[in-house]
Amino acid sequence: MSKEQYTSVQVSRQTYEKIKERLARSNMKITVSSYIESIILENLETSELMSLYGPFLSYVGNSDNTIFINDWKQRRIAGVSVNMKEDGSFSLFCDLDQSENCVHVGFVFALPQFYKILKEKGLSSKGLKIS
């Protein structure tokens, strides 16, 4: 692509260094610029998909093991609990639908906050066991 097809974007030095470190650790052979572009495009795509498949759902917040989802259709807040089990697995439970398999539970799987909770509980995304 020619230079006319690009524009500049600024990131803090701290963010830039963090990205460089991540690229070095992962042995990815791409530039920082290409990495940032791929992250932005991925986030845009995720956002578009979320608005298409869950336009009536939005993340509200979380506390400890529960993620709160605003359901605009039902005009209610759903609390989806992350229940840790002794064998290292987990299950999700929606208090609004009283279900482990509803649209709110599915929506939670798309949220980065969910994976932060798992990380805080000592689970890595590579060793996920869902029961």
Listed by start position, the domains of the chain span 13-53, 57-127
Instruction: Report how far apart, in Å, the C-alpha atoms of 93 and of each of 9, 37, 39, 83, 106 are.
Output: 41, 36, 30, 8, 11
- Which 3 state secondary structure label does DSSP give 131? coil
pTM (two decimals): 0.68
Distance linking the first and last C-alpha atoms of the chain: 47
Rounded CA separation 76/69 (Å): 9
Rounded CA separation 113/94 (Å): 16
- Which 3 state secondary structure label does DSSP give 97? coil
Going residue by residue through the chain (131 aa), what tens digit of pLDDT does each one get? 566 788 888 999 999 999 999 898 988 889 999 999 998 998 888 888 777 777 899 999 998 889 999 999 999 999 999 988 887 778 899 999 999 999 999 999 888 888 888 888 777 555 555 54
Measured at the CA of 29, the angle between CA 23 and CA 24, to 5 degrees, comes to 25
